[in-house]
Chains A and B, each alone.
Chain A
Amino acid sequence: MPAGHGLRSRTRDLFARPFRKKGYIPLTTYLRTYKIGDYVDVKVNGAVHKGMPHKFYHGRTGKVWNVTKRAIGVEINKQVGNRIIRKRIHVRVEHVQPSRCAEEFRLRKKKNDELKAEAKARGEIISTKRQPEGPKPGFMVEGATLETVTPIPYDVVNDLKGGY
């Protein structure tokens, strides 16, 4: 019999619940709220059968474009052939987690705003741009003794000692 290509084919391990985490899912997933424009990760929860996305979207991150009663519309990029399409899927909230990809950016934005406000108060202009890590600074090597190493002529007798 040929291998089927059904909707959930090849998902035996992907959709399986982790070890000792079977059964009811924690209530935080139901209490979270999502707004349009948030970034979310799609992670399928095999315990809930409704509103499951296709296995392709497992592990993808996208933006929320729609919020309905029990599900969220997420816009995810998918490469089809030679182009990337922005696909819009609807996923139940049990299969979605808030993404931390934009967290670092938001924190940096907040810090930069504070720094800029302080600088403005002091009257100086600062640059809050991130700088790439440059080459390491030069340094002097301390406490090194010089040992001159020269080659010694090949000695057959010495080398045969082991296996002779």
Chain B
Amino acid sequence: MVFIKAQKSKAYFKRFQVKYKRRRQGKTDYRARIRLINQDKNKYNTPKYRFVVRFSNKDIVAQIISATIAGDLILSAAYSHELPHYGLAVGLTNYAAAYCTGLLLARRVLKKLEMDEEYEGNVEATGEDFSVEPSESRRPFRALLDVGLVRTTTGNRVFGALKGALDGGLDIPHSDKRFAGFKKDDKQLDAEIHRKYIFGGHVADYMRILMEDEPEKYQSHFSEYIKRGIGADDIDSLYKKVHAAIRADPTPKKSTKEPPKEKKRYNLKKLTYEQKKAKLIERLNALNDAGGDDDDEDED
């Protein structure tokens, strides 16, 4: 039995300063957040919108958020689990799906602000670097990309979502250095390769390779694609249809859910402040009455 000297004494805990809650959870990068939220003081209450893209294992979340002291306000949001409404049922977390989600969010926001006729954006996705031109009447909607804690390497899916939003018509300051298809050697974006990624070309290529070399792995890996009858050559036209459907009607669909069933309560419900105070007064009165009787008995 090895005797180890206690590492964390009481003094350690007394002096320990906890990091912010969201830092402890590993969800927020405060250094980046401060710089994204800080608004020029001579712009007073003008909101500063950030285009937030987050990935989970099975979903993509794209939101437009502005910050207030009470909390962040979400102007509009788009999730990749909504893409089935527009015709895309599989591959909901790849580069192409990120592009669709960004595009959906951009069209949704512009429609909400009644700017969607003015700012069509890039209707034909070519993969080239595209920035919105300001029109005569209103300036384009400006947001700043917020990647979160993701490592921003070339070809990351957040930049797929960024491209989607840009082509949708939002004004987001960016450079093409991190889009998929940027060649570091000639410092240029290869628009062809980027367009391939936007339309799921890289997925189609992998499907073809697997079909040739390892058919069993193809069956297991792309089972959902096979189930819906999507082959390697159908992917391009599939995404084209999804883009068109998104541009046609970006409004979110309200899902009808039944109200949740009443569940049996296993633990006591917490009392409110007033209820606790009332209970205390009752107990004190009861004690006083009982105590009063005892005193009278003692005196006698």
Contact = CB atoms under 8 A, between A and B. Distances in A.
A35 B31 CA distance: 27
29 contacts: A20-B15, A20-B16, A21-B17, A22-B17, A23-B17, A24-B20, A24-B30, A24-B31, A24-B34, A27-B33, A27-B37, A28-B69, A30-B37, A30-B38, A30-B39, A31-B37, A31-B39, A31-B68, A33-B41, A33-B44, A33-B45, A35-B44, A67-B41, A67-B44, A68-B41, A68-B42, A70-B38, A72-B41, A93-B41
B19 interface: yes
Interface in B8-66: 15-17, 19-20, 30-31, 33-34, 37-42, 44-45
Instruction: Give 9 closest A-B pairs by Cβ, nearest first.
Output: A20-B17, A69-B40, A24-B30, A30-B38, A67-B42, A67-B41, A33-B44, A31-B69, A28-B69
Interface of A: 20-24, 27-28, 30-35, 67-72, 93
Interface residues of B, number: 20
Interface string B67-78: 111000000000
A30 B68 CA distance: 10
DSSP majority for the B interface?
loop
A27 to B, nearest CB: 6
Contacts of A30: 34, 37-39
DSSP majority for the A interface?
loop
A8 to B, nearest CB: 24
A69 B41 contact: yes
B293 to A, nearest CB: 27
A72 B44 CA distance: 12
Contacts of A67: 41-42, 44
Contacts of A28: 69
Contacts of B33: 27
Contacts of A70: 38, 40-41
A22 B17 CA distance: 8
Contact of A71 (B15, B41, B44, B67): B41
Nearest to A30: B38
B71 to A, nearest CB: 11
Contacts of A24: 20, 30-31, 34
Of B20, B42, B44, B68, the most chain A CB neighbours within 10 A belong to: B42
B34 A27 contact: yes
Contacts of B19: 23
Given A24-B20, A30-B38, 17 more contacts: A20-B17, A21-B17, A24-B31, A24-B34, A27-B30, A27-B37, A28-B69, A31-B37, A34-B41, A67-B44, A68-B42, A69-B40, A69-B41, A69-B42, A70-B38, A70-B40, A70-B41
A70 B40 CA distance: 6
A21 B20 CA distance: 11
A30 B43 CA distance: 13
Contacts of B42: 67-69
Nearest to A93: B41
Nearest to B46: A33
Contacts of B31: 24
A35 B33 CA distance: 24
Of A21, A24, A35, the most chain B CB neighbours within 10 A belong to: A24
B283 to A, nearest CB: 33
A105 to B, nearest CB: 23
Contacts of A22: 17
Contacts of A31: 37, 39, 67-69
